[in-house]
Homo-oligomer: A and B are copies of this chain.
Amino acid sequence: MSPRAEATRRRLFEATMRLARSRGLVAVTVDEIAAEAGVAKGTVYYNFGSKDGLVEALLRYGVDLLAERLRAPASDPDPMAGLAAMVDAALVFMSEYPGFSQILVSELWRAPGRWQATLLPLRENIVLVLEDQLRRVAGAGRFPQGVPLRTAAAALFGTLLVVALDWLVFEPGRSREEVRDAVLALLAARAQ
C-alpha cells in the first residue's frame, strides 16, 4: 500500500472515531466521514469497499493499537506495578480515543453482531494480555483465590472500559491517577 493511501486510511479512521462517539457507527454517514476526513466519498469505497469494510478495518486498527499499549508494561519486574501501568495505559488510550472506546462498548456484546466475527479474536488478544499479567500477580500471591484468571481478565477489560467512559463522560474533571487508583482499589487485586 502506498504511503499516500496509508495516510488516507488513517485519516478516515480518526474521522470515524470522532463522529461515532456520540451517535454510534450506524448513525454516522459515509458522507460525514469523508467530509470530516477531508476526502471525497468515493475514496472511502476505493479504500475499504464499503462502510462495513471501513468499520472492520477500524476495529482492527484500534484494538491492535490498544493491545500494543497494554503489552508494554508487561515486562515490569513488579507484577503489581505492571498491572497498575496496564490500567494506566488503558486509561490513556481510552482518553485519547474516546470514540473508539464508545464503539467498543457498543459493539462488543452484541449476540450475534455484525462485527462479532471480527471482534472476538481481537478481544481475545486483549484479554490474554491482561490474563497473563493477572497470572503474574497471582504468582506473587496478591490475587484472591476462587476466581478463574480468565474470568477476572475479561471482567477487568469490561470494567476498565466502563469506568473510563464514566470518567470521560460524567466526570471529565478528575485526574487519570485518581481513576486508576479507584479501579485498582475496586479490584481485589490488592494486598490482603
Contact = CB atoms under 8 A, between A and B. Distances in A.
Contacts of A110: 21-24, 102, 169
B168 A111 contact: yes
Interface string A165-183: 1101111000000000111
Contacts of A130: none
Q: How many copies does the complex hold?
A: 4
A109 B169 CA distance: 6
A146 B165 CA distance: 21
A171 B102 CA distance: 23
A181 B152 CA distance: 12
A181 B146 contact: yes
Contacts of A151: 166, 171, 182
A105 interface: yes
Interface in A87-118: 98, 101-102, 105-106, 108-114
A185 interface: yes
A166 B26 contact: no
Contact of A109 (B114, B162, B181): B162
Is the contact region of chain A dominated by helix, strand, or loop, or is it mixed? helix
Contacts of A108: 165
Interface stretch (A3-11, A60-68, A72-80, A153-161): A153-161
Nearest to A145: B185
Contacts of A106: 24, 105-106
A175 to B, nearest CB: 13
A21 B111 contact: yes
When A and B form their complex, which 9 residue pairs have the shortest distance between CB atoms, in order from nearest?
A158-B162, A109-B165, A106-B106, A26-B26, A111-B169, A159-B159, A22-B110, A26-B27, A147-B185
